[in-house]
Structure formats: structure tokens, C-alpha cells
Amino acid sequence: MQGIGFSDDPLLQGRNFSYFDTQISRLGINWQQLPINRPVCPVMNHIRDGALQHRITQGKINYWPNRAGIVPPASEPGEGGYHEYPEKVEGMKARLNSTKFLEHFSQAQMFWNSMSPIEKKHITKALAFELDHCDDPLVYGRMVERLTDIDLGLAQAVAELVGAPTPQNPGKPNNGQVAKGLSQMEFTREALGLDPTILSRMVAIIIADGFNYSEYDAVKETLAATGAFVFTIGPKRQDVTSSGGDDVKPDHHWEAIRSTSFDTIYIPGGAHVDVIRKSGRAVHWIREAFGHLKAIGATGEAVGLLREVLNVEGLEFCSGQEVVDSYGVVTAGGAESSGVNEGLQMLKDGENFIEVYAYEISQHRNFQRELDGLSDQVAY
């Protein structure tokens, strides 16, 4: 049975869109299955899920075009599907796509070309992650073929991870065209020419009995005065005693909260590192923060703890009183206040531990750690 086309009346065309959109938003994609909305003639489509779905559809094909040629749209006269009335308007009226619909890849290429190296890495990982859950070699093989129309290097990287044949030639030449405003890296404070800030950043200071109170207090007071939210994390919520006898009540104990709730962690020096070393959860805090590319700070005896727990090739630590910043892991022999009353200077190459550590916190993530493969060396 042939369908009936709508006239060109602008008001009718607008209402067609509005009513259809309203039905979907109110009832879901299967609104046509309600008896009051159901057409008299049977309708076949590829919709299988969603609200108000009553049919049980067998088979694994739910899209068109598909490789099996199953359920093509019936649009030709005599096939029983919809057919536009050939109205004469200085020619024959027909429902056609413009020629620009034949080009599917230029925008995708421009988007890919405009990404920063870390964003390209994340896109590659995301594609490989999803396709790894596909068991049909034909499906992920064809997906890799489509990626060659965007970028050959992308397609080759995904093919290696998902087990598809490695393509050797691009499907469409990449002209290198880029566009402004597509990469998130264009909107960092540094890219916009703004001063670094740690305002509202969540800082976790991990302590246990025997911690160095002076280092703890210097970092906590300085960062808090600069606008960060500083929390003390211990093995318990009762008082934790420093090596000098000062008692501190933690805000949380490390079994009740995770490093994912914070932007960075800091471990002061002291004999408490032996307690932290023996706690699998506390060790996991350190490794998880490192794997998530967050800034990590350690002073005094805690430097040796980081070296032992992370054990990452290419990561450097201080060997004395100097301040070392290696992939966002800032270590030093001690921590002293940097004169916060005059405003904390956040300097990547500073000589004061808190200045360098605060700078790394302001960067939010150290993406170079992932690009150089250091984060892949730590299980978390």
C-alpha cells in the first residue's frame, strides 16, 4: 500500500516535525506500537530496543544498509512501500539527497587533525576498547576500513589492538585541514594566557602515626590559603599522632574513600611511611593517582616510598634536598612555607617544593605521563 505524501505547506511541514518529535520525547521511539498510533498495514523497521517495545525480534541485523541485504526499504512502485507522488514543479518532484551527502569523511578528518596528541591517543583507545567487545571479524574489519578514510595511522593503531588486518593504504587522502576550537587543549588556562590556579582543587594528604607535622602543616596551610580544599586521610578517623607528639584528626580513613575523589595526593615525610607501605589500600591510592595522571607530592622519607611503590622506568626522584618534578611527581627533601601571605608563586622550575607542587596541581593532569607510556607501567 502506497503512502501519502504531505503538501508543501510550511505550517504543515513544521507541525509534522513538531508532532513527531513530541511523540518520541513523551512515549519513546516505539510510540507507533501503541494501538491508537499503530498503522493498519504491517510495518517493518529495524528498531529493536527502547521504551514500549513489545516485539521480540530475532536475528542480529538491526540497521540498513547491512551486509546481508536484509529488509531493504520498500520504496519503488509496486513494492508496497512509500512512494513520493511525482508532482510537476518545473520538472518532476522527487525525494533526493544533495550531492554533499555523498561525502562522509571530510568533517571527521578535520576533527581528527585538530586533536592534540593526547586526545588522539584517547580516541584510539576508545575505538579499540569498544571494538574489542565485538566477536565478528567482519564487523571490526570493516570498521577499520572506514577509519582509513579518516586517517591511516589511526586505522593501523586500532587494527593492531582489535585483531583486524593492518591496512596499508588510506581510503581517502588526508589533506591535513584543521579547525580552531575543537581541541580541549585550546582552552586550558595556559593556552588562554591566564595565570595558573589551584582554586577549588581537592587535595588529599595521607598520614599515619609518626608523620612529620611541620611538613604536613606547611603544605596544608599554604595550599588551603591559596584556595584549594585540603583533606587529611589516615588509617583511622581517630587522632593520628605525629613524630613530635602533635595530634591530627583525619577527615576520612583511606578504606572509606578513594583517590578518585581528589585532584592530587601529598605524603609528608616521617616514620609513618612504614605504616603506609604495609597497607594495600594506601598503596593503591598512590598507584591509582599516578595512573590517572594526577599530581603527586612527597617529601622526606615518603620519597623512598614513592620510588618503591611506583617503580616506573623513566620516573625520577630527588636524592637530597633539591626539588625534582618528573612527569608531575614532585619530590623534595622537605617542605617549607613559601610566604603565602604575599601570594603563592606557582613555578614549574621553582626551588621551593610547594611552589612546584602547586604548579603541577594547577595543570590538573600530566598527559605526558600517558603519552610516554609511564602510566601503563602501573597496575591500579
Q: What is the pLDDT of residue 76?
A: 57
In one-letter notation, the amino acid at residue 332 is A
More confident residue, 82 or 138: 138
pLDDT > 90: what percent of the chain? 68
Mean pLDDT of the chain: 90
Q: What is the pLDDT of residue 64?
A: 80
pLDDT at 232 over 90: yes
pLDDT at 110 over 80: yes
Contact 198, 218 (CB under 8 A): no
Q: How far apart are CA 92 and CA 279, in angstroms?
A: 78
The β-bridge partners of 332 are 299
Residue range 19-71, pLDDT digits in tens: 889 989 999 988 888 888 887 777 777 788 888 888 777 777 878 888 888 77
pLDDT at 284 over 60: yes
Q: How far apart are CA 293 and CA 328, in angstroms?
A: 8
What is the distance, to the nearest Å, from the Cα of residue 328 to the centroid of all Cα atoms in its chain? Answer: 19
How far is CA 59 from each of CA 16, 46, 77, 253, rounded to the nearest angstrom?
Answer: 32, 11, 28, 51
Q: What is the pLDDT of residue 78?
A: 57
More confident residue, 221 or 61: 221
pLDDT at 77 over 70: no
Q: What is the pLDDT of residue 82?
A: 65
More confident residue, 216 or 23: 216
pLDDT at 135 over 50: yes
In this prediction the pTM is 0.79
How many degrees, rounded to 5, is the angle at CA 123 between CA 118 and CA 124?
Answer: 95
Q: What is the pLDDT of residue 1?
A: 36
Contact 294, 378 (CB under 8 A): no
Q: What is the pLDDT of residue 94?
A: 75
Residue range 322-377, pLDDT digits in tens: 999 999 999 999 877 655 445 688 888 888 999 999 999 999 999 999 999 999 99
Q: Which of 79-83, 289-293, 376-380 has the lowest mean pLDDT?
A: 79-83
What confidence tier does 2 reach under pLDDT thresholds 50, 70, 90? very low
* Domains of the chain, start order: 1-96 (no CATH), 106-187 (1.20.1370.20), 202-377 (3.40.50.880)
Exposed, middle or buried by CB within 10 Å (0-12, 13-18, 19+), for 133?
exposed
Contact 91, 98 (CB under 8 A): no
Q: What is the pLDDT of residue 213?
A: 97
Q: How far apart are CA 206 and CA 298, in angstroms?
A: 10
In one-letter notation, the amino acid at residue 91 is G
Q: What is the pLDDT of residue 161?
A: 97
What confidence tier does 79 reach under pLDDT thresholds 50, 70, 90? low
Q: What is the pLDDT of residue 90?
A: 80
Q: How far apart are CA 327 and CA 368, in angstroms?
A: 7
